[in-house]
Every structure is written in structure tokens, then in C-alpha cells.
Amino acid sequence: MHAFLRRFGNFLDTGRRAALALAVGLPLLAAAQAPPAPDAPVRFGILPLGGAFESRSDWDPLLAELSRAIQRPVSVLSVNSYEALEHAIQRGEVDMAFLSGKMALDAVSQKRMKVVAQVVRHDGLPGYRGLLLARKTPPFNTLKELIDQPERWRIARGERQSVSGFIVPQLQFFLPNHIVMETRFLSEVVGTHQANALAVANNEADVATNNSADFERFKARFPAEAQRLQVLWESELIPHAQIVVRREYPPELRQRVQAFLVAYGRGKGPRGDAERGVLKSLHDLAGFVAADNTSLLPAAKLAYQLAMQNAKTAQWVNDAARQARLQRLENGYAEQLAVLKDVSP
């Protein structure tokens, strides 16, 4: 795994394959290179923020309204891992998705998707913060102990594609303290933010990656377990997640999707109240704002910074090999920025 970390600048991990755990709505179609048929279901992919079934049930009311607004059936693909959703996108089995920065970045950089909207929350902040959680009671309850003796700690972390579960804590905390998450701990488990927080609360792990938005939701759902936890560290602000739509869709359809999302939860009366209730169940969202691919520039910078830091600290056969790697990362980042800044229909 350490070798993978050195190669993190390759924005797509092709090494592993995971089976999809589908919370099946309408049947999913096989991947196809041709543009989707105009009356085919829109297949919406959902990040596994809680569990696959839980994620799907939270999104069902909004997607039912979206189906009526665009006059197309909408089916749901809810998976049990970031990797499973990533592979579904690669196979052309996803037409629209709710994705965090790294996954949205990959989908857009590969010219599979376009950003149409970004979520906003009630706190008004342009993002959320990555967290490290630990139990309040000793042992394993201070940041100094974590930095001094990580090999005694058990970590529960997110998948490599998770911005707050892996990328940001690795870049902003662990690597600056000369700790590689995947190799320095006594043991590790990889799961959702909810599962990881529960692991620490129940003494199955000692430290967990998480984020401020998911931890607020966790405290509401698991108040007893949350009382056992404390925040050891928090990151800089991380931009909110995006809604992406398949590039092959006509601009008119993407615009209808965007208009629906931006208006959702903004109305008055019982309908507006009901929509706001749905948004609250979706990790306490306040709604959506119109966005394009440029909203992924911060995510691209994070991935680039981590790749460069890994390359600079890795062991190389000679300096020429190291410099060649750094130059490839520079070139790849420049190409990626060009894709993100292209906002043509």
C-alpha cells in the first residue's frame, strides 16, 4: 500500500475491484459509449455516507421530484464503498451523482461528467472540516500521544477517494508529522464516517477520520456514543460536495437538472417545508447553488499537493527519476486545470 501512496498523483486507482452492493431501484443498464436514449432512466449514484440503504432512503423523495421535473424516470445506485461507485462511473453505469471533491474531480477530469450544482449548509460556510476523533478517556486520548507513538494506536479511516476520510488528514496532519496512515498504525479498518466513529466509541479503534458535517449528524443519531468522543484535530475548510451529470446529456437537460436543484427547498408553504425537511435528512443541507467544473479547482489543488509531497519524500533510484516524476505531476496538474476551466456547454 505504501507504493500506492507514492503514486497518488495518478488520480485514478486501477488496482482493486469491488462488488457493487446495490439498493436496487429500477434495473441498471449495461455500460455504453453511445449517448443515452432520450427516454432511458437517469441513473443517480450516491456516496455511501451512512449505509447503502440509508443513503438511498434519504435521497428517494428528492429524486422522485427530480424525475417529475425533468420528465424522465430516475433510478438509484447506492453502493457500500467509494470504490464501487467509482467503478460504476467508469463502466458508464451512472448518469448523475452526488460526489465529494476527489471523486467528482476524477469523473470530470476523465471527461465523463460535468458539475451542475454544489451543496450548501445552514452554517453558511463554503465548506466543512476534516476531523480526527478519539475517546475522551485515557489511554489514546491526546494528540501528543498520537504523534509520538502512532504504532500503538488503531485507526479507522475512510477510503483513498474520501477527501475528509483520507486525503486531507494525510496531507495536512499525518505526513507533516512523518506518519503514513497506511503503514504506521497497529491496525486499521476502512469504512464510512459513521462506522468509523462507532468503532472508536466502542473501543474497536482508537482514532478515526471524520468531518464536521458528518460528526454533527452522528451526534444526533448516536448521542450516547458521541458523548464518549472528542475532536483531537480539525483541518482547514474543505469545499462542499457536487452534483455531476453525464457529459453526453444535452445542455438543455443539464440546465433543467440545475434549475430544479437550485430551486429545491427555496419555496414557501407546505411544499417548501417538505422539501426543506428532505434536505435536512440529507446531512442537514440547506440546498444547492449553481456550479460548474471550476468549483473543483480546490479539490485538484489538494490532490496535487498530496501527490507532490509523496513524491518528494519517497525513495528514488536517483535524482533524475525523482525529477521526472515531479515533472509528470506538474504536467498532469496543468492538463487537469485546463479541463476544469473549460466551461463550454
List of E strands, 103-258: 113-121, 127-135, 154-157, 187-190, 207-211, 229-239, 242-246
Q: What's the grid cell of residue 232?
A: 483531537
Question: For strand 42-46 and strand 154-157, is the pairing parallel, antiparallel, or unpaired?
Answer: unpaired
Q: What's the grid cell of residue 321?
A: 527519476
Q: In the chain, what is the greatest distance between 2 CA atoms, to the nearest angstrom?
A: 68
Q: Which CATH superfamily is domain 16-124+240-293 in?
A: Periplasmic binding protein-like II (3.40.190.10)
CATH number of 127-238: 3.40.190.10
Q: pLDDT by residue for the chain (345 residues), tens digit each?
A: 444 334 334 433 333 333 333 332 333 333 344 566 667 899 999 876 665 555 778 899 999 999 999 999 999 998 888 889 999 999 999 999 999 888 999 999 988 999 999 999 888 788 899 999 999 999 999 999 999 999 999 999 999 889 999 999 999 999 999 998 999 999 999 999 999 999 999 999 999 999 998 999 899 999 999 999 999 999 999 999 999 999 999 999 999 999 999 999 999 999 999 999 999 888 788 999 999 999 999 999 999 999 998 888 888 999 999 999 999 999 999 999 999 998 777
217: Cβ contacts below 8 Å, ≥ 6 apart: 194, 283, 284
* Structural domain spans, the chain: 16-124+240-293, 127-238
- Look at the pTM and tell me if it is higher than 0.95: no
Radius of gyration over every alpha carbon of the chain, rounded to an integer in angstroms: 20
Amino acid at site 328: R
From CA 209, how far away is CA 291, in angstroms rounded? 28
Beta partners for residue 187, in sequence order: 154
From CA 114, how far away is CA 112, in angstroms rounded? 7
Q: Do domains 16-124+240-293 and 127-238 have the same CATH topology?
A: yes
